[in-house]
Amino acid sequence: MKLYLMQHGQAEPKEVNADRPLSEQGNREVQAMAEFLQRANIIPEKIFHSGKLRAQQTAEILGRQLSIDALDVIQGINPNDDVNSFAEEVDNLEHDTCLVGHLPFMARLVSCLMNVDIETGLVDFMPASVICMERSQEELWVINWMVRPDLLPS
């Protein structure tokens, strides 16, 4: 089973819009990442997001580009939620899944799944980044790859 962890795209500052929708740059970067995933034939069965507007918009762009209708809000992936309890839920997933969330939660979840202190900072997310993790037959998680939008052609 593969788990795709995506940080939402760049959002408008709170001072500009308290709801923090995606900025124009955020929309472009998320669209570019979605196109990259489509070209690479990376199509998770389900996309979950935190319910915050910027994560929802990111998930919707992914869903449209990848032709995935299964978009749902999931509790427990907000910026400062407890990664240890959520990691137990991740272990129950049976199909390739994408989570669209926030920092520092996403980076902490990677560390938790890798059995490393959650403050270690194994990966350096930036808005619209995607990391692919896979659960081995031994039930251990490994990092397969990570793509950041600054690596994609503009």
Digit-coded pLDDT (tens) for 69-92: 989 999 999 999 999 999 989 988
CATH of 2-151 among 3.30.930.10, 3.40.50.1240, 1.10.579.10, 3.40.50.10070: 3.40.50.1240
Q: What digits encode the pLDDT tens for the residues 126-149?
A: 999 999 999 887 788 999 999 999
Q: CB of 44 within 8 A of CB of 2?
A: yes
**Single-letter amino acid, residue 64:** R
Q: How are beta strands 2-7 and 71-73 bridged, if at all? A: unpaired
97-101/2-7 β-pairing: parallel
Predicted TM-score (pTM) of the model is 0.95
